Amino acid sequence: MSRHHHPLRTARHGRHPSTTLTGAERGRRGRSALATLCALVIALVITITGPTIAHAAAPVRIMPLGDSITGGPGCWRAVLWDRLQRNGFTGVDFVGTLPGGGCGLNGWDGDNEGHGGFQATGIANQNQLPGWLAATHPDIVLMHLGTNDIWSNLPTSTILAAYGKLVDQMRADNPNMKILVAQIIPMTPSGCSWCPTGVSALDAAIPAWAAGKSTAQSPITVVDQFSGFDTTADTTDGVHPDDSGFQKMSDRWYPALTPLLGGTPPADSTAPSVPAGLRATVSCALVVTLNWSASTDNVGVTGYDVFRSTNNSPFTVIGTTTATTFTDTLSGLAQYEIRARDAAGNTSALTAPVSAAPPPCPPPDTQPPTTPGTPTASATSSTATTLTWTAATDNIGVAGYDVYRAPGASGGTFAQVGRPTTATFTDTGLTPATTYRYQVRARDAAANTSAFSPTLTVTTAGGGSGCTAALTLQTGWGGGYVMQPNTVTNPGTATLNGWTVTFTLPAGHVVTGSWNATVSVSGQTVTVRGIAGQNAAIPAGGSATWGFQASRPNGDTTVPTTATCATP
């Protein structure tokens, strides 16, 4: 964010030398002042009768003040900025003479006064703060100072005296300064046996010091950054926070800061746990699938934010999900991080990043299958025919076939009528005594297709001209029935060599067994054929019988009553 300077505050710090005036000079000055005042009144009248100019409210200027825990990289600032923006506190400007980006988040305001290695006592004794204040003029200060003073084994009283001087300097720059002072995070560095007790002593003394120093015009709010902070889990070296430590610091600053921005402190300030087990898999189609274990929360997890860095760019949010999985399309080399959030806007720390790269995949399959053999037709009736052909081959494997049909012996347009996975297909619903043409092509799993096979021409039999069929109910009960003998009759003067009977089952009826015939069912359409060597051939004037059993819904007493018969 750019730094803004307030002209009123700059004027407030201006100084004018005193001058001794004579009475005449005072008169001339008075008349001159009166003339100037009149001119100003005229200008004011002109101004207020001219166009009205709207001015946006100035952002609230917040200075993060501290040492390396605040400045380098000080990612609690990034996490806090992100949460403020997500929850509608957009009119804020982090200020400071130092920049500070990174931290896995893109586009956040990194300005700060986090000076690595600095002591509160050193900043106070060397009067460094007034210059930083003059350059930025904050409205609110977030101060986490004292770590290096403790490391130098300075007494609590000395550190608090420095705190007091810094507060006085803040109020000299802005009498209405709002000040948040942290009870600093614990520290357990090697070689500093006094550090843990030194921090505890300082933190224990801060509330009483703050109560004595706070004023109604410039209140001091104490923020507990110590409780619940684990130097083993939440720091990289016993001093400097890791991602979980930065998250905890942000979670403590947020409820103390938001009332100063016109908000209400959240009733729930407990963040969800960090999602566990984040893993990324990449398919040969470069689809990235992220999976992780669900987070837990004292109230409830409402979702997850997914961050991505492509080719080492900053991490940015690419999506949210309520599930524990997320898919993305890979472009280049990528890393992903996940965090959980709850209804109060609390967010967990980010997971450790996982990488995603294109996997070693076989080259794409571009070789089509061979052309299937010429189809042949069998069991052709007045309404159906069965096609078979020599199977195609493929370098990887044939996935199936596309069967196309055109009307007539010539002309007409081929249209797809089937997609069998084997080298056979029965085409039903045909018109009796009608000619059709068929072509077949093979396809593989990569959608490569072969050339079409040679064309087969098929003519269906005349409808019902060679035989008749009758259905007979033998017995029925609540849940089913038996129909026999069902009769096929040859009224002609020559032997019939094959017959096909078709009929429709009522809705909900199911064929459960049959005899003396080959029976197939498609939907509610039943197709019955004679058995070669048994009853497929019917002499002139003769007949053949067959039977079947079916189930039906209880209370349903209907049975099929009509059937059609066709000869090859």
Residue of 167, 96, 182 lying closest to 138 (CA atoms): 96
Domain ranges, residue 202 = 60-261
Nearest-angstrom CA–CA distance, 451 and 555: 54
Confidence category of residue 259, pLDDT binned at 50, 70, 90: very high
**555 and 504 in one domain?**
yes
Residue 55 has pLDDT above 80, yes or no: no
**Residue 192: C-alpha distances to residues 148, 162, 381, 433 (Å):** 11, 22, 98, 102
**Residue 212: C-alpha distances to residues 160, 176, 224, 256 (Å):** 12, 17, 18, 19
Contacts for 411 with CB less than 8 Å, ≥ 6 apart: none
**473 and 454 in one domain?**
no
**What pLDDT is attached to residue 4?**
31
Q: Give the tens place of pLDDT for each residue, 510-539.
A: 999 999 999 999 999 999 999 999 999 998
Q: Give the tens place of pLDDT for each residue, 298-315.
A: 999 999 999 999 988 878
- Enter the DSSP assignment of 258: G
Range among 268-277, 460-469, 480-489 with highest mean pLDDT value: 480-489
Q: Averaged over 142-151, what is the pLDDT?
A: 97
E-assigned strands of 429-509?
435-444, 456-459, 468-470, 473-477, 480-489, 496-497, 500-504
The verdict on residue 8 lying in a domain is no
**What pLDDT is attached to residue 344?**
83
Residue 234, Ramachandran bin (φ over 0: left; ψ between -120 and 50: alpha; else beta): alpha
One-letter identity of residue 201: A
What CATH number did the domain enclosing 298 receive? 2.60.40.10
Q: Is the bond leading into 485 cis (omega within 30 degrees of zero)?
A: yes
Nearest-angstrom CA–CA distance, 360 and 379: 50
**532 and 408 in one domain?**
no
- Domain endpoint, select from 459, 477, 497: 459
**296 and 248 in one domain?**
no
**What pLDDT is attached to residue 416?**
97
Q: Give the tens place of pLDDT for each residue, 398-421.
A: 999 999 999 998 989 999 999 999
Confidence category of residue 346, pLDDT binned at 50, 70, 90: confident
pTM: 0.51
Nearest-angstrom CA–CA distance, 25 and 100: 55
**476 and 384 in one domain?**
no
Name the more confident of 433 and 27: 433
Range among 49-63, 109-123, 430-444 with highest mean pLDDT value: 109-123
Average per-residue pLDDT for the chain = 86
HEC readout, 404-436? EEEECCCCCCCEEEECCCCCEEEECCCCCCCEE
**What pLDDT is attached to residue 567?**
82
Domains in the chain, number? 4
**221 and 80 in one domain?**
yes
- The strand pair at 415-418 and 564-566 is best described as unpaired
Confidence category of residue 278, pLDDT binned at 50, 70, 90: very high
Least confident of 238-242, 314-318, 441-445: 314-318
Question: What string of DSSP letters covers 175-228?
Answer: TT-EEEEEEPPP---TT-TTHHHHHHHHHHHHHHHHHHH--SSS-EEEEE-STT
Nearest-angstrom CA–CA distance, 505 and 521: 9
The verdict on residue 32 lying in a domain is no
**237 and 330 in one domain?**
no
Confidence category of residue 263, pLDDT binned at 50, 70, 90: confident
**561 and 443 in one domain?**
no
What CATH number did the domain enclosing 522 receive? 2.60.40.290
Confidence category of residue 101, pLDDT binned at 50, 70, 90: low
**What pLDDT is attached to residue 269?**
78
Q: Answer yes or no: are the C-beta atoms of 509 and 440 closer than 8 Å.
A: no
**411 and 305 in one domain?**
no
Least confident of 28-37, 60-69, 245-254: 28-37
- Domain endpoint, select from 236, 261, 286: 261
Nearest-angstrom CA–CA distance, 222 and 256: 8
CA angle centred on 256, ends 249 and 113, rounded to 5°? 60
The verdict on residue 351 lying in a domain is yes
Alpha-carbon Rg for the chain, nearest whole angstrom, is 44
The verdict on residue 206 lying in a domain is yes
The verdict on residue 371 lying in a domain is no
What CATH number did the domain enclosing 72 receive? 3.40.50.1110
pLDDT > 90: percent of the chain = 68
The verdict on residue 192 lying in a domain is yes
- Domain endpoint, select from 420, 439, 459: 459
455 token code pair: 């064309």
The verdict on residue 424 lying in a domain is yes
**253 and 105 in one domain?**
yes
Give the CA dihedral 493, 495, 498, 501, nearest 10 degrees: 30
The verdict on residue 44 lying in a domain is no
**322 and 284 in one domain?**
yes
Least confident of 32-46, 452-466, 483-497: 32-46
Range among 110-119, 265-274, 452-461, 488-497 with highest mean pLDDT value: 110-119
**280 and 168 in one domain?**
no
